[in-house]
Structure 1
Amino acid sequence: MENQMIFAWAIIFCLAVAPVHGQYYSRTVKAGSPNTTQDPPTYGTLYAMDDPLTMESELTSTLIGNSQGLYLDLSRERTQFTAIFYADFAFTTGRFNGSSFSLFSRFSAADASSTIREMAIVGGRGAFRMATGFALLRVTWSNTIGDAIVEFNVTLYHY
């Protein structure tokens, strides 16, 4: 009986510490060819932003801060815009004056199945120190040259 108990505990112990393994691949392909007559793709282009942060979509709405950040175009396909997006949303008035939170996520125009996209909140400062959460984005207006108004519906947890 004692040997059976030892064997049972040994099996339980082995099952409890079973390793988890995953194997992943990332293939790097050089963007563009030196023997092409096409315009160079925007792949690898880094964009900077410094936009007003308001409570309403109108430009005349009260300014409460600004959103500054970077996004990097990752798509080799001209028809599908995909980027890594980083932005810091800083408040310059009101209850959260001097505080900010940061988004960092992948943004893909290929997610056309949904008009609302989700991004991760990865931190903050001031009142939003150690913030986590998410932001739901919805483009409310855009034009053909890339200007847009984006609504950010933010849920964050902070300490």
Structure 2
Amino acid sequence: MDKVTLLLLLPLLFVLALVSQGHAQSCSPYGEEHGQSSSPFGEGHGQSCSYFGKEKVTRLHFFYSERVTGDKPTIVLSAKPENNPSAGIETFGALSVIDTPLTEGEDLNSKVVGRAQGLVVAAGLDKTMLIFAVDFEFTSGEYSGSSISVLSRNPILDVYRELAVVGGRGKFRMARGYALLRKAIANADVNIIEYDVTVFHY
């Protein structure tokens, strides 16, 4: 190889070296080692690497306490299907708005640690099914002012459910993960649902 050819190839070799180095330093978001926090609102410890910084995985545990009746319900039917004026929240085509407290414990009087705010659409034609487009903002602890966003189907009659976490704000930027739900209390006046959330974030 003559000197002219070598000089022409040097820039290409330099670029290839940079690309190779970048690939060697990138990590899968689902690496084998992720630290986890045992506290409901404790720190996540990231052990994988990313161009956005260290990725963390955090576990959150709280209760979604929804009041259906009374002077200040936390879920309100805002639009009914045109052909069904007597529709309720669970009627196919109904649109509701929620602003529901998130509590530390199952008791309605336990400490409020956040609020769930968003839209709920009844989208089940043959089965009671709600679509949640909800922002869960935390108002207490290390993650105060941060939130996770859920966009997922929610078969509310099932005791156990799973919702998709598709984003977040603040300390939960670029979050994704899942929420496991368990029905704790459900009657004509109140629905209390236990949330166990796992989120990957930066």
- Give TM-score, length-normalised by structure 2: 0.54
Match of 1:92 in 2: 139
Q: Which runs of 5+ in 1 are unaligned?
A: 1-30
Aligned length, in residue pairs: 120
- Matched AA of 1:105: S
Please list the CA deviations of residues 76-127 of structure 1 after superposition, one character each: whole Å capped at 9, or x if unmatched. 34xx3112111111011210111000111011246x4xx3111100000000
1:33 to 1:157, Cα distance in 2 relative to 1, 3 A? closer
- Residue 43, structure 1, aligned to residue 92, structure 2: yes
Q: Cα distance, 1:32 vs. partner?
A: 9.2
Q: Cα distance, 1:33 vs. partner?
A: 7.3
Match of 1:105 in 2: 152
Q: Cα distance, 1:66 vs. partner?
A: 0.7
- Matched AA of 1:97: S
Match of 1:61 in 2: 110
Q: Which runs of 5+ in 2 are unaligned?
A: 1-80
- Residue 150, structure 1, aligned to residue 193, structure 2: yes
- Matched AA of 2:194: E
Partner-residue secondary structure (3-state), 1:71: strand
Which structure carries more relative contact order (alpha carbon 8 Å, separation 6+)? 2
1:40 to 1:63, Cα distance in 2 relative to 1, 3 A? closer
- Give TM-score, length-normalised by structure 1: 0.67
Query: Identity of counterpart residues, as a percentage?
Result: 42
Taking only aligned residues, the RMSD between alpha carbons, in angstroms, comes to 2.3
Runs of 4 or more off by more than 6 Å in structure 1? 31-34
Partner-residue secondary structure (3-state), 1:127: helix
Contact 1:32 1:40 in 2 (8 A): no
- Matched AA of 1:69: G
Match of 1:10 in 2: none
